[in-house]
Amino acid sequence: MSETSWQECEACGRTTDEFSSATRCTDCGGLLSLHHPTPDLTGPALRDRFDARHGVRGSAAELSGVWRFRELVLPSAGAAIISQPEGNTPLLQRESLSDWCGVAGLFLKHEGHNPTGSFKDRGMTVAVTQAKRIGATAIACASTGNTSASLAAYAALAGLPGLTFVPEGQVALGKLTQTLAYGAQTLLVDGDFDACLRLAKEASEQLGVYLVNSINPFRIEGQKTIVLELLQQLAWQAPDWIVLPAGNLGNVAAFGKALAEALALGLIDHCPRLAAVQAQGASPFAAAFARGFDHMEPVAAETIATAIRIGAPASYDRGVRAIRTTAGVVTSVSDDEILEAKITIDRAGVGCEPASAASLAGVRQLRHRGMISGSERVVAILTGHLLKDPGILQTIHQSSGSASHLGNKPIRIPPTIEAVRRVLFASIW
Ligand SMILES: *Cc1c(COP(=O)(O)O)cnc(C)c1O
């Protein structure tokens, strides 16, 4: 049995050790995945070990909701770990949201509670740890905003220069300003996300910077812990469904890998079904699913959910595998449905960014279609924080545009108690 982890090409099967810095197969260009030595414990004993680590005091790595599962993430990382910490996000239940989508057993895993406000931190802690271990001189990514914000924060923590490529005019304000504030070099590219990804790949090949996009296999290992942590929060009683928004399909791939490993190691006794939800204007994965996954047809992506505004998902093959191995489904929802779900989630006092709301819109649609039954247990992933996209909030609540009838307008008053009294009587009594 190998003592360290190794990387394997998903297309040709070529293996390299865990310290190879290539983020694609150097023979065939295929995507790489990480494999770890089998842990010394499995089943209930491994669950007990994970449970015993929960809530302990200690270093950032010991507090982290990613590194708690280190045997399944990167067992050899040890003292090299770069952690904020991250993870430990809440699993919420809200009656109003259960009612809205017709599923009493609905849970919301809120990844917006991560240090930079999205699930990207779970992958970034592992990718940046690895960047330090292999002696990278700089790290780079293409991003619709959340990956760049996360990269910037972890680059600052690790003392590494960070370089981000973002599509000009297509990144939510909170994410762009966050990336600048943490100090990463930010390149506004005159092109869409798919153009940014091409450029980031070329930069990594020709300029030697380490690429930490979601094709990076170390990111996938960290993002698996969204699933491991929610299973732990459910006392390892696997739900029937896990529903998540899908853009570049890194997360769908990570969820599929986590579930396959959890089942193989006896952490759970049945596999939840994955439901990946795309925005209708950016739904090449859903279209391919409807055709039996014959092939992926790239699209010119357009949606208000900028985090999933991706026309040619880089992890398509991995995404297909994840859906197949979990007997999963892929669907799409309209921007209006996303907006309605977002406003409903916000009003529940939970809040999320638009892309995240695609998951709840998807639950509701799958429930109406009879795919999900009212008695099943469903975990919907909220991928990012409400404050990521202040622009859409202004459009809903402070403008007179098309969505404004759903808004909660501020009320302008003169500075008198009479004016306050008038407002109170009009709205409450
Ligand atoms: C990155 C991101 C997604 C999409 O994840 P993929 O791995 O690209 O499919 C969804 N929602 C938010 C908020 C994100 O930041």
* Ligand 1 near 226 CB (within 6 A): no
C-alpha–C-alpha distance, residues 383 and 71, integer Å: 24
C-alpha–C-alpha distance, residues 336 and 305, integer Å: 11
C-alpha–C-alpha distance, residues 279 and 362, integer Å: 10
C-alpha–C-alpha distance, residues 384 and 97, integer Å: 17
Phi, psi at 296, each rounded to 5°: -105, 125
Q: What is the 3-state secondary structure (H, E, C) of 149-162?
A: HHHHHHHHHHCCCE
pTM over 0.85: yes
Task: Find where tokens 């590194």 sit.
Answer: 67
Mutation probe of ligand 1 site: the residue of 147, 212, 308 with most atoms within 8 A of C-beta: 308
* Ligand 1 near 178 CB (within 6 A): no
* Ligand 1 near 171 CB (within 6 A): no
Contact yes or no for 309/279 (Cβ under 8 A): yes
Residue 331 forms beta bridges with which residues? 277
Which atom of ligand 1 approaches the CA of 250 most closely? 7
Distance 289 CA to ligand 1 centre (A): 19
Contact yes or no for 281/336 (Cβ under 8 A): no
Single out the residue of 273, 369, 370, 287 nearest to residue 324, CA to CA: 273
Phi, psi at 241, each rounded to 5°: -135, 145
Q: Where are the beta strands (DSSP E) in 262-372?
A: 273-279, 329-333
Residue 229 — left, alpha, or beta (φ > 0 → left; ψ -120 to 50 → alpha)?
alpha
CATH number for the segment(s) 91-114+221-404:
3.40.50.1100
Residue-wise pLDDT tens for the chain (429 aa)?
457 999 999 999 999 999 998 888 999 999 999 999 999 999 999 999 999 999 888 999 999 999 999 999 999 999 999 999 999 999 999 999 999 999 999 999 999 999 999 999 999 999 999 999 999 999 999 999 999 999 999 999 999 999 999 999 989 999 999 999 999 999 999 998 889 989 998 988 888 899 999 889 999 999 999 999 999 999 999 999 999 999 999 999 999 999 999 999 999 999 999 999 999 999 999 999 999 999 999 999 999 999 999 999 999 999 999 999 999 999 999 999 999 999 999 999 999 999 999 999 999 999 999 999 999 999 999 999 999 999 999 999 988 766 667 789 899 999 999 999 999 988 765
Phi, psi at 189, each rounded to 5°: -95, 135
- Total Cβ atoms within 10 A of residue 255: 27
The full set of domain ranges for the chain reads: 1-36, 91-114+221-404
Contacts of 296 (CB under 8 A, 6+ apart): 284, 285, 288, 312, 313, 316
Mutation probe of ligand 1 site: the residue of 175, 383, 392 with most atoms within 8 A of C-beta: 383
Distance 216 CA to ligand 1 centre (A): 15
Angle between helices 316-325 and 250-264 (to 10 degrees): 40
Single out the residue of 254, 215, 224, 194 nearest to residue 24, CA to CA: 215
Exposure class string for 359-385: b at 16+ Cβ within 10 A, else e? bbbbbbbbbeeebbeeebbbbbbbbbb
